[in-house]
Amino acid sequence: MVNNVTSYSGNGLRDWLLQRVSAYVLGFYLVFLLCVYFLNPSIDYALWHSLFANIWVKLFTVLALLSLLVHTWIGIWTVITDYVKVTGIRLLKEAIVMLALLTYLVWALVILWSM
Amino acid sequence: MNKPQPVNLQLTSMKFPATAIISILHRASGVILFFLIPFILWALAVSLKSAAGFQQLHAFLTTPVMKFILWGSLSALVYHFVAGLRHLLMDFGFAEGKQSGKVSAVITMSIAVIIIAVLGVLIW
Ligand code: HEM
């Protein structure tokens, strides 16, 4: 059996579903940013700053960041599981990816709340 | 008696169907996006910190080399997005057959190429 202790939810179907849900959130967030751009093609600092200062935009951004963590963890896990056959090396790579993703999440939260 | 076995596969003699190409590119673009995350966060941090940082980042990203890298990065995002939408449509039962899957793969690829071309125009 494939070692799935390291998969995000420990269950293939749930992983699949979570990857879809997170894909929708990320997709909507990107469309949102695209709309901002099309409404203000020559965006300046004042507008950019006030955008992310808005609490609703912040919350949406946090939601997108959490989705990014889940989506990318499941996605990269799938890729690593497909190609890296030596258990020790696979676990090492998975640990590095997880650590990186968690660091990114904390870093992003710091960015949003120290701007 | 052992039959002579093929020693190595002649990759150039194989044809990859559109569905295979679109699938592996989705994977490749996903992995590229993963490696881009720290750079995106760095850009977000700099652009939000101060007006001067925003200006500097803008100046940096509009140098010829960075324009190209920006375009490449956004292309990975656009491609992953469009091919991801194809996945989500297939979840709802669209284009799941062999032939319809091929057609949707070609359509998806065309849409991605068009958007990426428009992006290039917007950037330059
Ligand atoms: C921007 C950050 C993103 C990153 C780093 C990322 C990364 C990945 C990775 C590594 C995979 C695994 C690919 C594979 O198993 O072959 C994946 C799969 C997927 N991505 Fe993303 N992705 C991102 C955004 C998005 C967005 C915005 C969408 C929305 C359309 C999306 C839709 C999907 C779907 C539907 C899958 C599942 C494919 C499958 O089941 O084979 N992704 N992503």
Go through the domains of chain A in sequence order and give each one's CATH number. 12-113 (1.20.1300.10)
Q: For the residues B17-44, what does the mean pLDDT come to?
A: 97
Rounded Cα distance, B70 and B58, in Å: 12
Distances (CA, A) of B60 to A15, B19, B51, B66, B67: 39, 38, 14, 7, 9
Whether pLDDT at B6 is above 90: no
All residues of chain A having their beta carbon less than 8 Å from the beta carbon of residue B73 are none
- Asked if the Cβ–Cβ distance from B44 to A97 is below 8 Å, we say no
Question: E strand or H helix at B49, and its extent?
Answer: helix B18-49
Rounded Cα distance, B124 and B120, in Å: 6
Domain definitions of chain B by residue range: 17-123
- Chain B stretch 31-90, residues whose beta carbon is closer than 8 A to a beta carbon of chain A: 31, 33-34, 37-38, 41, 44-45, 47-51, 54-55, 77, 81, 84-85, 87-88
Q: What residue owns the CA closest to ligand 1's atom 12?
A: A75
pLDDT digits (tens, 9 = 90+) for B75-87: 999 999 999 999 9
The confidence score (pLDDT) of residue A31 equals: 98
Work out which ligand 1 atom sits closest to the CA atom of B82: 30
Distances (CA, A) of B11 to B15, B22, B27: 8, 18, 20
Between B42 and B9, whose confidence is greater?
B42
Q: Of the candidates A23, A45, A111, which has its C-beta nearest B88's C-beta? A: A23
Residues at CB less than 6 angstroms from ligand 1: A 19, 23, 26-27, 30, 68, 71-72, 75-76, 78-79; B 26-27, 30-31, 33-34, 80-81, 84-85, 87-88
3-state SS string over chain A?
CCCCCCCCCCCHHHHHHHHHHHHHHHHHHHHHHHHHHHHCCCCCHHHHHHHHHCHHHHHHHHHHHHHHHHHHHHHHHHHHHHHCCCHHHHHHHHHHHHHHHHHHHHHHHHHHHCC
Whether pLDDT at A90 is above 90: yes
Domain B17-123 fold is 3 helical TM bundles of succinate and fumarate reductases (1.20.1300)
ipTM, two decimals? 0.94
Q: In the predicted model, what is the mean pLDDT of chain B?
A: 94
The confidence score (pLDDT) of residue A4 equals: 73
